C-alpha cells in the first residue's frame, strides 16, 4: 500500500503510549493498534484531527505517501 502510517513513530517522539492516546481521543486501544499496524482501509477526518491535536503534529507527520515501482 502506498500510504504508510507512522503513528507509532509519532507516539514514540511524544513519549506517549497507545493507551493514553486512545483515552485522549475517545477510541479503543484496539483501534489505535489497528491504525499503527496499517490494517485499516481508512481513517475519519475527525479522528485524524483528534490524533493530530493530541500529538501536536500535522497529518503529514503520520501519513506518508510512498510511490510503488512497477
Mean pLDDT throughout 32-48?
94
- Cα(52)–Cα(25) distance, integer angstroms: 10
Whole-model pTM: value is: 0.89
Position 30 confidence tier, pLDDT thresholds 50, 70, 90? very high
Mean pLDDT taken over the chain: 94
The predicted-structure confidence for 6-17, as pLDDT tens digits, reads as follows: 999 999 999 999
Class of residue 62 by CB neighbours under 10 A (exposed 0-12, middle 13-18, buried 19+): buried
Position 1 confidence tier, pLDDT thresholds 50, 70, 90? low
Amino acid at each position: 500500500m502506498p500510504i504508510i502510517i507512522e503513528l507509532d513513530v509519532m507516539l514514540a517522539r511524544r513519549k506517549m503510549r497507545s493507551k493514553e492516546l486512545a483515552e485522549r481521543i475517545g477510541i479503543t486501544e484496539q483501534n489505535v493498534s489497528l491504525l499503527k499496524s496499517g490494517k485499516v482501509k481508512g481513517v475519519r477526518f475527525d479522528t485524524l484531527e483528534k490524533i493530530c491535536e493530541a500529538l501536536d503534529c500535522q497529518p503529514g507527520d503520520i501519513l506518508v505517501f510512498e510511490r510503488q515501482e512497477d
